[in-house]
């Protein structure tokens, strides 16, 4: 047995077995990646080569290592450490491959000529493929690790109450031990041994915490260290300006920030008020967001991004923002988007990385970003349709994205004559109201009145979904006694050229 470098694992098992597989499971935010980094760091301290296969971006992994106090930059430069990131669609390619062993042979070449003493695979899930219960990938991975003769730590995402994926059977069968990480109350985490070939299974889990510049430690050692040396403080001298767009800041967000930073808390200014940033020596700006204040927060991001020499801008909430709001925030100029439910270690290390990098201005957007592109504008308590130019701006903002979301634009043109002698322009106002009431305004749908028709941008809708929406509008319109509608649909991407001409959308 040798020390793993992960204190609770060493305490529970006595260490790890050289040249064998060890499986680490747990839900999101339980510390699996942190454990892998410490497992690798133990090899690097002994001047032994190591490698890690990861699904994380290199910048995120470096940020976590920096938070834990682990130096991976020097070993990467010297070649002592190799980082390999999964390619997109790796799981699909592995499932479709006639011979998974061929792909693993390519992986062996990527690891270089020097065989690593330790290998962490975080997570192993892509090796399971996406083709159902077939376990060819896990069988090939077991053979690969046995042939390599490497001491390995593999992670797998699983919930505490969930049964193991049957595709893991070959890996579980070859593992020396299977352990699970769990989150407890506050900062506490637990390591529970599920199976072991080298020791008795401990009846109780081992408690641990994940700390800045300390990594995974037992609570007792943390307390003793702080009592012995008051000069060692995990608190950063940096100051953060916390601006809350709701009635009050999130206590969960503030509790996390106050662990490592000095915070200055303020109510976010209204749109017609000055930002009031002068005179504050701050290293970062955190916008505390609630469900009801997302649009206001994104508008504030735009204003902050227009300021010269602005600090890092971070959006933080108790919940995960919708993908459309995250995309808008990043394009508006936010440097990071965080949620407290991702777990304290990940939250704080990503925050530390963003504050260290400073503000990075977003790429130019044509036209300029506006919060009106996020949600349907309102006049009083009622939604109001966009104008032609506003709708064109919304489309232009969408099509300039690197990976635009699927969408469909549907237009509704009323008959040339109104009902009962009404003006043909009167039903157009009624029609826009019908369309908006049938839409999902809170999910990004946008309605506009353009010349003699009403147009709606259906966010995330494919052509069949747009057809169902159009049918609902047509039935409501007919029940009101109006003339039949002329309906056209323009799905992305096939309908984009026509839309560019119709609404004069240009994307540079």
pLDDT tens digits, one per residue of 182-195: 888 777 899 999 99
Residues 6 or more apart from 200 whose CB is under 8 A from it? none
What are the tokens at 256? 């996390």
* CA–CA distance, 102 with 94 (Å, rounded to integer): 10
- Is the pLDDT at 223 greater than 70? The verdict is no
Give per-residue burial for 383-400: e unless 16+ CB within 10 Å, then b: bebbeeebbbbbbbbbbb
Q: What is the DSSP letter of 46?
A: T
pTM here?
0.50
Helix axis angle, 32-45 relative to 58-68, nearest 10°?
A: 70
Residues 6 or more apart from 284 whose CB is under 8 A from it? 238, 240, 241, 311, 312, 313, 314, 351, 354, 355
Read out DSSP for 394-448?
HHHHHHTSSSPPPEEEEEEE--SS-GGG--TTHHHHHHHHHHHHHS-GGGT-EEE
Q: Is 386 helix (H, G, I), strand (E, B) or coil?
A: strand
Per-residue confidence (pLDDT) for residue 49, from 0 to 100: 94
Per-residue confidence (pLDDT) for residue 420, from 0 to 100: 47
Mean pLDDT of the chain: 80
Per-residue confidence (pLDDT) for residue 163, from 0 to 100: 66
pLDDT tens digits, one per residue of 453-500: 899 988 878 888 889 999 999 999 888 888 889 999 988 767 766 776
- Is the pLDDT at 366 greater than 50? The verdict is no
Measuring CA to CA, which residue among 349, 262, 344, 259 is closest to residue 69?
A: 349
Asked if 505 and 392 count as a contact pair (C-beta separation under 8 A), the reply is yes
Per-residue confidence (pLDDT) for residue 400, from 0 to 100: 52
């Amino acid at each position: 047995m040798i020390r793993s470098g992960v204190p609770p694992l060493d305490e529970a098992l006595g260490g790890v077995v050289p040249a064998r597989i060890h499986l680490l499971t747990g839900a999101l935010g339980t510390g699996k990646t942190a454990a892998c980094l410490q497992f690798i760091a133990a090899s690097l301290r002994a001047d032994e080569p190591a490698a890690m296969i990861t699904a994380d971006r290199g910048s995120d992994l470096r940020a976590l290592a920096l938070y834990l106090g682990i130096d991976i930059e020097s070993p990467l430069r010297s070649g002592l450490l190799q980082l390999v990131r999964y390619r997109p669609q790796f799981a699909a390619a592995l499932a479709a491959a006639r011979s998974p062993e061929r792909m693993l042979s390519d992986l062996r070449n990527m690891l270089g000529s020097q065989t690593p003493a330790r290998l962490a695979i975080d997570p192993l899930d892509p090796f399971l493929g996406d083709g159902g219960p077939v376990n060819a990938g896990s069988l090939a991975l077991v053979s690969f690790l046995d042939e390599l003769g490497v001491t390995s730590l593999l992670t797998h995402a699983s919930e505490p109450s969930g049964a193991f994926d049957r595709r893991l059977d070959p890996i579980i069968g070859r593992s020396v031990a299977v352990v699970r990480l769990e989150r407890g109350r506050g900062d506490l985490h637990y390591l529970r041994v599920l199976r072991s070939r080298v020791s008795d299974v401990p009846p109780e889990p081992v408690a641990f915490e994940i700390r800045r510049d300390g990594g995974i430690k037992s609570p007792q050692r943390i307390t003793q260290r702080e009592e012995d040396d008051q000069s060692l403080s995990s608190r950063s001298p940096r100051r953060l300006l916390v601006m809350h767009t709701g009635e009050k800041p999130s206590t969960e967000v503030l509790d996390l920030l106050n662990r490592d930073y000095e915070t200055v808390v303020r109510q976010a200014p209204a749109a017609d008020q000055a930002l009031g940033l002068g005179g504050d020596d701050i290293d970062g700006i955190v916008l505390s967001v609630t469900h009801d204040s997302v649009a206001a927060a994104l508008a504030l991001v735009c204003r902050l991004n227009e300021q010269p020499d602005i600090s890092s801008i971070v959006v933080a909430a108790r919940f995960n923002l919708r993908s459309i709001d995250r995309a808008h925030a990043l394009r508006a100029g936010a440097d990071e988007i965080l949620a407290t439910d991702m777990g304290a270690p990940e939250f704080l290390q990503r925050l530390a990385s963003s504050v260290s990098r400073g503000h990075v201005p977003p790429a130019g957007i044509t036209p300029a970003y506006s919060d009106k592109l996020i949600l349907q504008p309102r006049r009083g308590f009622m939604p109001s349709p966009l104008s032609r130019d506003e709708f064109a701006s919304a489309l232009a903002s969408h099509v300039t994205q690197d990976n635009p979301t699927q969408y469909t634009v549907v237009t509704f043109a009323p008959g040339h004559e109104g009902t009962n002698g009404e003006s043909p322009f009167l039903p157009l106002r009624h029609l826009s109201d019908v369309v908006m009431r049938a839409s999902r305004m809170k999910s990004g749908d946008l309605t506009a009145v353009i010349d003699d028709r009403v147009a709606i941008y259906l966010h995330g809708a494919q052509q069949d979904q747009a057809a169902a929406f159009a049918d609902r509008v047509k039935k409501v319109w007919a029940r009101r006694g109006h003339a039949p509608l002329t309906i056209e649909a323009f799905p992305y991407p096939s309908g984009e050229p026509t839309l560019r001409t119709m609404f004069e959308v240009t994307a540079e």
